[in-house]
Amino acid sequence: MITIPTLDDIRDAAEKIKPYIHKTPVMTCQSINRMAGAEIFFKCENLQKVGAFKIRGASNAVFSLTEQQCQKGVATHSSGNHAAALALAARLRNIEAVIVMPKTAPLVKKEAVKRSGAKIVLSEPTQKDREKTLEQVAGEKGMTIIHSYDNPKVIAGQGTSALELLSQAPNLDIVIAPVSGGGLLSGTSIAVKGVSPETQVWGAEPEAANDAYLSLKSGKLVRCDNPQTIADGLRMSLSERTFSIIRKNVTDIITVNEEEIISSMRLVWERMKIIIEPSSAVPVAAVLKNKKNFSGKRIGIIISGGNVDLDRLPWMKQNS
Amino acid sequence: MITIPTLDDIRDAAEKIKPYIHKTPVMTCQSINRMAGAEIFFKCENLQKVGAFKIRGASNAVFSLTEQQCQKGVATHSSGNHAAALALAARLRNIEAVIVMPKTAPLVKKEAVKRSGAKIVLSEPTQKDREKTLEQVAGEKGMTIIHSYDNPKVIAGQGTSALELLSQAPNLDIVIAPVSGGGLLSGTSIAVKGVSPETQVWGAEPEAANDAYLSLKSGKLVRCDNPQTIADGLRMSLSERTFSIIRKNVTDIITVNEEEIISSMRLVWERMKIIIEPSSAVPVAAVLKNKKNFSGKRIGIIISGGNVDLDRLPWMKQNS
């Protein structure tokens, strides 16, 4: 048995989290439209609280806890944005939070977690060690583990971004989101297929972390352990739950290489004057690369976040 | 005789340029509000066309030309944003534009001008050589010179940003804008004093280019030639026209040092996820530094632009 959220769950989540999140703007950019030969609507979750869509799922999960669960607190492991999101959601509900973070997480993401008052426990960067450390820590205190994507409340929360997008930019032909563990893409696909069944949902993934692409092609769940990509938010693998949702709803997944990610990230910074993290550049690169599928279309892109270590920008690497 | 625009001129400009510009959003940031102890409304001209407020003044000037003037084209000298703005405005009216740029202008600004199809002529970075080169170039072809700030149409256009701000964020106690040649601050002050006389208007200026501060203190026009500041948009000096407007309308001018500019710029990037150029960080630094004057107030800040050379970020200098 796997619990899968429905459009109603996403609508309930939207009501529940409304006081705690921003309704983020949808931006457009004529020069990028010209390059893509399409009309792109950027749903700016980089301008969301904690700088990422993750506060949507985390706050839906935390504000769905029973009073008894609240007394023990919450815990998770996360490479960054879910960490900061859960820390903030816990603070908003005035409960304790412990975050297991890989040693390799960007400084800016560790600081965001600390600012929210959560406790950080460091682990090795492998998915295995992150999970083991989390189970230890949470087990000791009886804390509720809020998984960053393999959780129906989290998935429902992440879907609220697409729900907003569909009302802000109606009649989209395609919605495209980055895919890591699949929480955002799953929630997005349920929202889009529920509200506008004729709108296609696509995923975008780094070539270097292409587990979702491989899973969709082969029809069975493939995992990548500790993949190396500049898109530090996209290093997780699908779960059975997110895979089953994505298989059902998603037309296809496009992979892009590191160079395409970096140049798309820089393009958005330069032309739109907004800060997006490498993970958010992945669907932008996918649209620019696949004119065959996207030309002439009205396309919504979920810009997932804007948390970047400003001392280590990817285009600086060559020079330092 | 000096022609000074009125509130009506600014309202006329707003109508005239409406088809060619964005109505830019006003953003807020809780964590910066906490740091400042004030409620700040950021008027995001970095999200404006050409990435700066300058398109407002340039398009008002260009669309006010006679047909006869249009046949000869327009010319200007500018360190960057006015250059790109005039180039775009000229393209929109389908007339020729020549831009005299200092050799030292950031690459990103030169490229923006080229993208708009204007012709670039390079000069030495001194104000004197820039003016001399411009007069030569424009004189040969009989082009209309559109000065970047000492022009009533330009000043009226720049004032339209504050006009929008006042309707987007009513009941402001203070509006603060950066000051270079004073076009933005003049236009802003006329709009604010016209619409809401009790609202104060302040200027913010780099210590290293403090001609407006010195002019206001001494009561007579002081010039800085080729000042060295990271705020590359704020290196010009007031004209008689802008000085007379600022003297009348502006409460005071705050100066900030280079370190304060850089740290405020980085703060906005990190917390708000928007790209602002060093010049735009100057009023932010001024508010953070002067709690005495600004604490508890509702403050509008004109974020003047977002054109930054992403290969040369100020906080990178120490490392390279």
Spans of all domains in chain A: 7-51+151-319, 55-145
- Phi/psi zone of residue A60: left (φ > 0), alpha (ψ -120 to 50 degrees), beta? alpha
Which of B273, B276, B310, B315 to mutate to test binding with chain A, by most A CBs within 10 Å of its CB?
B273
Q: How many CB atoms lie within 10 A of CB B306?
A: 25
Residues of A in contact with B306 (CB under 8 A): 273
**Per-residue DSSP letter, A145:** E
Which of A270, A303, A318 to mutate to test binding with chain B, by most B CBs within 10 Å of its CB?
A270
Between chains, do A274 and B275 touch, taking CB under 8 Å as contact? yes
A28 touching B, CB under 8 A?
A: no
Phi and psi at B105, nearest 5°, equal -65, 145
pLDDT tens figures, B246-269: 999 999 999 999 999 999 999 999
The closest CB to that of B269, out of A27, A275, A316, belongs to A275
Between chains, do A310 and B315 touch, taking CB under 8 Å as contact? yes
Q: Can you tell me the distance from the alpha carbon of B225 to that of A249, in angstroms, rounded to the nearest whole number?
A: 63
Q: Can you tell me the distance from the alpha carbon of A55 to that of A84, in angstroms, rounded to the nearest whole number?
A: 8
What's the whole-number mean pLDDT along residues A175-181? 97
Rg (CA), chain B: 18
pLDDT of residue A21: 97
Q: Can you tell me the distance from the alpha carbon of B198 to that of B137, in angstroms, rounded to the nearest whole number?
A: 45
Least confident of A77-91, A104-118, B158-172: A104-118
Contact at 8 Å (CB) between A43 and A165? yes
Residue A186 in this model has a pLDDT that exceeds 60: yes
How far A39 CA sits from the closest chain B CA (Å)? Answer: 17
pLDDT-based confidence at residue B110 (cuts at 50, 70, 90): confident
CA B169 to mean position of chain CA atoms = 20
| CA dist list (Å): B225 to B69, B103, B211, B229, B279 | 32, 16, 9, 12, 17
What's the whole-number mean pLDDT along residues A63-77? 97
The token duo for B270 is 């990190």
B266 touching A, CB under 8 A?
A: yes
**Domain formed by B55-145, architecture:** 3-Layer(aba) Sandwich (3.40)
The token duo for A147 is 């998984």
Q: Can you tell me the distance from the alpha carbon of B280 to that of B45, in angstroms, rounded to the nearest whole number?
A: 9
The token duo for A284 is 């932008």
Between chains, do B310 and A272 touch, taking CB under 8 Å as contact? no
The token duo for B215 is 């002019």
Residues of A in contact with B276 (CB under 8 A): 273
What's the whole-number mean pLDDT along residues A221-232? 89
How far A47 CA sits from the closest chain B CA (Å)? Answer: 6
| CA dist list (Å): A80 to A77, A234, A283 | 9, 11, 20
pLDDT of residue A71: 97
3-class DSSP assignment, residue A200: strand
How far B277 CA sits from the closest chain A CA (Å)? Answer: 10
In percent, the amount of chain A with pLDDT more than 90 equals: 86
What's the whole-number mean pLDDT along residues A26-47? 97
How far A115 CA sits from the closest chain B CA (Å)? Answer: 10
Question: Which residues lie closer than 8 Å to B104 by C-beta, 6 or more apart?
Answer: B125
B318 touching A, CB under 8 A?
A: no
Of the candidates B27, B25, B74, B55, the residue with the CA atom closest to the CA atom of residue B183? B55
pLDDT of residue B320: 41
The closest CB to that of A320, out of B25, B273, B320, belongs to B320
Between chains, do A51 and B320 touch, taking CB under 8 Å as contact? no
pLDDT-based confidence at residue B100 (cuts at 50, 70, 90): very high
CA A112 to mean position of chain CA atoms = 17
| CA dist list (Å): B270 to A18, A98, A112, A116 | 24, 24, 10, 15
Q: Can you tell me the distance from the alpha carbon of B316 to that of B196, in angstroms, rounded to the nearest whole number?
A: 42
In percent, the amount of chain A with pLDDT more than 70 equals: 99
A46 touching B, CB under 8 A?
A: yes
* Protein fold of A7-51+151-319: Rossmann fold (3.40.50)
Residues of A in contact with B25 (CB under 8 A): 25
Orientation of helix B211-218 relative to helix B240-249, angle to 10°: 60
Question: What is the overall mean pLDDT for chain B?
Answer: 94
pLDDT of residue A16: 98
Residue A320 in this model has a pLDDT that exceeds 60: no
Quickly list DSSP for chain B: ------HHHHHHHHHHHGGGS----EE--HHHHHHHTSEEEEEEGGGSGGGBTHHHHHHHHHTTS-HHHHHH-EEEE-SSHHHHHHHHHHHHTT--EEEEEETTS-HHHHHHHHHTT-EEEEE-SSHHHHHHHHHHHHHHHTPEE--SSSSHHHHHHHHHHHHHHHHHS-S-SEEEEE-SSSHHHHHHHHHHHHH-TTSEEEEEEEGGG-HHHHHHHHSS----SS---S-TT------HHHHHHHHHH--EEEEE-HHHHHHHHHHHHHHH-B---HHHHHHHHHHHH-HHHHTT-EEEEEE-B----TTS-GGGGGG-
Residue B216 in this model has a pLDDT that exceeds 80: yes
Q: Can you tell me the distance from the alpha carbon of B229 to that of B94, in angstroms, rounded to the nearest whole number?
A: 35
B314 touching A, CB under 8 A?
A: no
Question: What is the overall mean pLDDT for chain A?
Answer: 94
pLDDT-based confidence at residue A317 (cuts at 50, 70, 90): low
B316 touching A, CB under 8 A?
A: yes
pTM as predicted: 0.94
3-class DSSP assignment, residue A264: helix
A320 touching B, CB under 8 A?
A: yes
Which of A21, A273, A275 to mutate to test binding with chain B, by most B CBs within 10 Å of its CB?
A273
| CA dist list (Å): A20 to A23, A36, A93, A234, B121 | 10, 35, 10, 25, 52
B160 touching A, CB under 8 A?
A: no
ipTM of model over 0.85: yes
Comparing alpha-carbon positions, the chain B residue that sits nearest to A312 is B316
Q: How many CB atoms lie within 10 A of CB B112?
A: 24
A107 touching B, CB under 8 A?
A: no
Which amino acid is present at B111? E
Q: How many CB atoms lie within 10 A of CB A96?
A: 17
How far B243 CA sits from the closest chain A CA (Å)? Answer: 31
pLDDT of residue A111: 83
3-class DSSP assignment, residue A242: helix
pLDDT of residue B317: 60
What's the whole-number mean pLDDT along residues B105-113? 80
B310 touching A, CB under 8 A?
A: yes
Q: Can you tell me the distance from the alpha carbon of A48 to that of B272, in angstroms, rounded to the nearest whole number?
A: 9
Residue A289 in this model has a pLDDT that exceeds 90: yes
Residue B144 in this model has a pLDDT that exceeds 80: yes
Residues of B in contact with A320 (CB under 8 A): 319-320
Angle formed at CA B110 by CA B107 and CA B114, multiple of 5 degrees: 135
Residue A136 in this model has a pLDDT that exceeds 80: yes
What's the whole-number mean pLDDT along residues A278-297? 96
B274 touching A, CB under 8 A?
A: yes
pLDDT of residue A54: 97
Residue A24 in this model has a pLDDT that exceeds 90: yes
A311 touching B, CB under 8 A?
A: yes
A275 touching B, CB under 8 A?
A: yes
Residue B217 in this model has a pLDDT that exceeds 90: yes
Comparing alpha-carbon positions, the chain A residue that sits nearest to B109 is A270
pLDDT-based confidence at residue A161 (cuts at 50, 70, 90): very high
Contact at 8 Å (CB) between B175 and B188? yes
pLDDT of residue B87: 95
More confident residue, B297 or A115: B297
Task: Say yes or no: do domains A7-51+151-319 and A55-145 share a fold.
Answer: yes
